[in-house]
Chain A
Amino acid sequence: MAHTEIQNILEIRDLKVIYKTDLEVVEAVNGLDLTIGKGKTLGLVGETGAGKTTTALSILKLLPSITGRILQGEIYFDGEDILKKSEHDMQSVRGNRISMVFQDPMTSLNPVLTVGDQIAEAVQLHNPDMSKEQINERVAATLNMVGIMPSRSGDYPHQFSGGMKQRVVIAMALSCEPELLIADEPTTALDVTIQAQVLTMIRELRDRLGTSMLMITHDLGIVAQTCDDVAVMYSGIIIEAGTAEDIFLGDKHHPYTVGLFNSIPNLDIKSDRLNPITGLMPDPTNLPKGCVFAPRCNHQMEICLEARPGVFEEGTHKIRCYLFSEAAGNSKAGVDLNAE
């Protein structure tokens, strides 16, 4: 090959992020590896507090400046290490080449500007030559696309429902036509019909511009329907990753992934109690020495408490668990996801 094509839009290696407060140090991300191929959509799932948002904020270098700190690792965006970029350079990356839909829509909305003005601002930034009428048309079309009457463009954010604000933020992020879209729980505040509409819009953008995506969500249904690859995060590390097929159809899984799938309330079965994984995630200020999932795992072995398991690989499928590593000499073929 004459020159090496960059195949991955994003490559994160051994990322470690902490939050340091007066009282304690929160180990939010603990040696995370993550890759997104160009034009691909990666679904990032995992327990609340696992460090998903922290990972996303690190990519944009938007961690809270006083407490948040990246201790080690590299984040390559389109071949360049983001962590080496100056704040000035980052400003031209954010909202331009990478745009983010935040979990809390008010992070990106200005409470004292009308919704229409805010969308207009985003449109204008990317289309400096547009006339005022053209921009107004674009604003109306954008609102329509997310199912909001254009006549409401003069309203302020507080006059919108939670889901309506979320839709405005998504529309603004999409109008930037980014190379990488990071969407942090973009549709949790939406009902399934509007959600379908929004996901269709996101797909159209991907098909039209080849946009790559990091889709942070806890809805495994959305992952199944939109993601090429999936990474499962727990306590700041990726404990399982692979193609969507590996995760949904593979026969080997990390016990946490199994628990995650078993927690989904089943629409077809009437049961009185849901089946959460028992216990809570370990305290991020005091992580266990061995496997981070060990305290809750019912396959726990002695070795699990001693040292971090390495990565077991089978093709594209990666699992961090002693059940599968050669060292443990255990070929139980893991746990059956579909077992009732």
Chain B
Amino acid sequence: MLNDNQTVPLLETVELRKLFKLKGGSNLHAVDGINMKIYAGKTLGVVGESGCGKSTLGRTILKLLEPTSGQILFEGNDITKYSVSKMRPVRKDMQIIFQDPYSCIDPRKSVIEIISEYMFIHKLYKSRVETFNKAAGLMDMVGLARRYANSYPHELDGGRRQRIGIARALSLNPKFIVCDEPVSALDVSVQAQNLNLLMDIQDELGLAYMFVTHDLSVVKHISDDIMVMYLGKCVERATSDELFANPQHPYTKALLAAIPKPDIRMRNKEFQLIKGEVSSPVNVKPGCRFASRCDYAVPECSQRDPDFVETSPEHFVACYIVNGR
């Protein structure tokens, strides 16, 4: 259940859309009408097929990409149309930890410089010394030994490199962090360490996370609620336990069925594949985006977008069959 006593979500989107213009003028519907709410101190897990718009959603919410239409509300304020200067204080409250720690880190900067970067930009502290002290404190917080302060990121292994990103994201004392596959490059043990770290920080600071990952055991573990996306749309949303116990949407079911288990009796068994042609996010046709690959599809599925219906308390599904048309 969502928190009853917190009526205003920390973050809310209303029919949020992000289209990309392609050569020749057609539109690619990367994010296609997403409604979501995240409450302070909670984690919303976002899963879905590669290319379904998870990273675009994260970046649009933070206004790193300009939304095409819809609204983004942060602490109840509509920030969709905020100017750059009006966005500035809000920016501090919303951070992102990227999928790929290589691409967002300047390789010529040392660890301590990277962690201090945002604090300098936002002129958070008066002196360099104070800023570096704060950065050293963040290194302690994320478990990076201080002797790495003057190392360069490529000299560090993936787990430690990822912690640089976490420390930098925390440096502005944000209220909300988009974690875009923050642990996917890590082995299970280091992954577990970094997940524990993220959860401890959440408990301590009351942060909210939007947590994007392909690892379903991770998302189950870390999320309060989970949203399943398919080609720009949210097809199912429920609490973490409910979604795994009682998946409804045919895509969610296929997704959960495909999790590889560390069990060698499965060796060389055929993988469960979703058959059928993938629908295009370009010039989308009406109807359920999954219809061309769905085993249960009926003609209605390709005629009109299915509604997003609450099938049981706090469990929403967009599917004609599940919702009894």
Contact = CB atoms under 8 A, between A and B. Distances in A.
Contacts of B80: none
Interface in A129-167: 147-149, 151-152, 154-155, 159-164, 166-167
Given A154-B23, A194-B49, A265-B220, A276 B193 contact: yes
B51 A273 contact: no
A265 B261 CA distance: 11
Interface string B235-276: 000000100100000000011001111111011111111100
B50 A276 contact: no
A238 interface: no
A46 interface: yes
Contact of B181 (A104, A160, A189, A220): A189
A222 interface: yes
Nearest to B269: A225
Interface in B52-104: 55-56, 99-100, 102-103
Interface string A260-302: 1101111100110111110011000000000000000000000
A23 B170 CA distance: 29
A84 to B, nearest CB: 29
Contacts of B254: 193
Contact of B99 (A189, A193, A245): A189
Interface stretch (A4-12, A89-97, A196-204, A320-328): A196-204
B187 interface: yes
B50 A260 contact: no
Contacts of A306: none
Contacts of A274: 192-193, 195-196, 221
B262 A224 contact: yes
Interface string A175-215: 00000000001001111111111011001000000000000
A193 B255 contact: yes
A313 interface: no
A231 to B, nearest CB: 14
A26 interface: yes
B217 A162 contact: no
B185 interface: yes
A269 B220 CA distance: 10
Nearest to A166: B50
A281 B220 CA distance: 27
B157 A162 contact: no
A62 interface: no
Contact of A48 (B187, B258, B282): B187
A107 B216 CA distance: 27
A49 B195 contact: no
Given A193-B258, A222-B260, A276-B193, A188 B184 contact: yes
B2 interface: no
Contacts of B266: 224-225
B41 interface: no
B259 A277 contact: no
Contacts of A203: 268
B159 interface: yes
Most chain-A CB neighbours within 10 Å: which of B156, B159, B195, B262? B262
B158 interface: yes
B218 interface: yes
A260 B189 contact: yes
A223 interface: yes
Interface of A: 19, 21, 26, 45-50, 103-104, 106, 147-149, 151-152, 154-155, 159-164, 166-167, 185, 188-197, 199-200, 203, 218-227, 244-245, 248-249, 259-261, 263-267, 270-271, 273-277, 280-281
7 contacts: A50-B187, A191-B49, A196-B260, A220-B188, A248-B264, A277-B189, A280-B159
Please list the 9 inter-chain residue pairs (A to B) with the smallest Cβ-Cβ separation, ordered nearest first.
Answer: A49-B157, A163-B50, A221-B260, A274-B192, A276-B192, A196-B271, A218-B187, A48-B158, A192-B258
Interface of B: 20, 22-23, 47-51, 55-56, 99-100, 102-103, 143, 155-160, 181, 184-193, 195-196, 199, 214, 216-218, 220-221, 241, 244, 254-255, 258-264, 266-274, 278, 280, 282
